[in-house]
């Protein structure tokens, strides 16, 4: 485990799902270590309790930033977590894909995407691209939507939704093709009809089978289906 001690804030930041809050007494000779369980922000959910346990006059209590730590919020219900995962997926207009080549090699890529009314993901991609050939050979993929790095306080704890999906090619010029292309143009712009007019472009639809919604350290929730039915937390 690697850790870095921040003398100004008086705690260790670690790269695993455990951290240590540290403070010294007035002399600076005696150091006290408290275990803190990190939350999605990278700070421990036990941090306020640790502050209450600190004795007046310690280095931690003297630090002006110590009183600015936000209070611990109440745990979210499974319904609230489901709504949060759905909102994350809805607000992002691109998805990361992991597909498998005919030779069994993994391949990572991304594509702009839209969701239909049932929560199924659709992408418009060229048959010449490697991920398209992979989907034609193995019509399954792992999709990931991940929170913008700028929106998170801890790069190791970015919220993300990972779904294992079954892929289907939507028949060109079918009603489904026309309907989803109209939605794509509305949401993704006028590049869509230009690409759709090329003979090699295809629309793929992804049906979610199962996956995980990860809020941060030790907060992985199993989900299933396109509506992201949430199950009890599974830590990892």
pLDDT over 70 at 234, yes or no:
no
Residue indicated by tokens 């929170």: 147
Q: What is the dihedral of CA 215, 220, 226, 228, to 10 degrees?
A: -80
Distance CA 204, CA 168 (A): 5
202-230: per-residue pLDDT in tens? 999 999 999 999 999 989 999 999 999 99
Q: Is the pTM of this model over 0.85?
A: no
- The predicted pLDDT at position 233 comes to 66
Q: What percent of the chain has pLDDT over 90?
A: 63
- Domain 78-230: which CATH class? mainly beta
pLDDT over 70 at 30, yes or no:
no
Q: Phi and psi of 5, rounded to 5°?
A: -90, 125
Q: What is the mean pLDDT of residues 39-49?
A: 46
- The predicted pLDDT at position 71 comes to 54
pLDDT over 60 at 11, yes or no:
no
Q: What is the mean pLDDT of residues 4-21?
A: 41
- The predicted pLDDT at position 93 comes to 96
Banded pLDDT at 137 (limits 50, 70, 90): very high
- The predicted pLDDT at position 232 comes to 76
The domain spans of the chain are 3-68, 78-230
Banded pLDDT at 231 (limits 50, 70, 90): confident
Higher pLDDT residue, 19 or 140? Answer: 140
- The predicted pLDDT at position 29 comes to 46
End-to-end Cα distance, the chain: 16
- The predicted pLDDT at position 192 comes to 98
Banded pLDDT at 128 (limits 50, 70, 90): very high
81-125: per-residue pLDDT in tens? 999 999 999 999 999 999 999 999 999 999 999 999 999 999 999
Report residue 56 CA to chain centroid gap: 39
159-188: per-residue pLDDT in tens? 999 999 999 999 999 999 999 999 999 999
| CA-based nearest residue to 90, from 167, 140, 147, 155 | 147
| Mean pLDDT score of the chain | 79
Task: Give the β-pairing of 229-230 and 106-115.
Answer: unpaired
């Amino acid at each position: 485990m690697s850790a870095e001690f921040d003398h100004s804030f008086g705690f260790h930041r670690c790269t695993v799902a455990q951290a240590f809050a540290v403070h010294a007494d007035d002399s600076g000779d005696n150091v006290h270590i408290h275990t803190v369980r990190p939350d999605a922000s990278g700070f421990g959910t036990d941090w306020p309790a640790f502050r209450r346990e600190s004795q007046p006059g310690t280095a931690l209590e003297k630090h002006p930033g110590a009183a600015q730590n936000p209070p611990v919020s109440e745990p979210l219900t499974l319904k609230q977590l489901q709504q949060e995962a759905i909102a994350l997926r809805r607000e992002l207009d691109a998805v990361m894909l992991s597909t498998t080549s005919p030779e069994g090699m993994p391949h990572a890529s991304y594509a702009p995407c839209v969701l239909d009314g049932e929560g199924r993901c659709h992408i418009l991609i060229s048959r010449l691209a490697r991920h398209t050939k992979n989907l034609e050979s193995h019509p399954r993929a792992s999709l990931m939507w991940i929170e913008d790095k700028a929106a998170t306080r801890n790069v190791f704890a970015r919220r993300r939704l990972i779904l294992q999906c079954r892929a289907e090619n939507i028949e060109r010029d079918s009603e489904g093709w026309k309907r989803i292309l109209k939605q794509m143009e509305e949401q993704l712009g006028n590049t869509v009809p230009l690409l759709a007019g090329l003979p090699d472009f295809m629309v793929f639809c992804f049906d979610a089978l199962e996956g995980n919604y990860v809020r941060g350290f030790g907060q992985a929730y199993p989900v299933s289906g396109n509506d992201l039915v949430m199950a009890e937390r599974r830590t990892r």
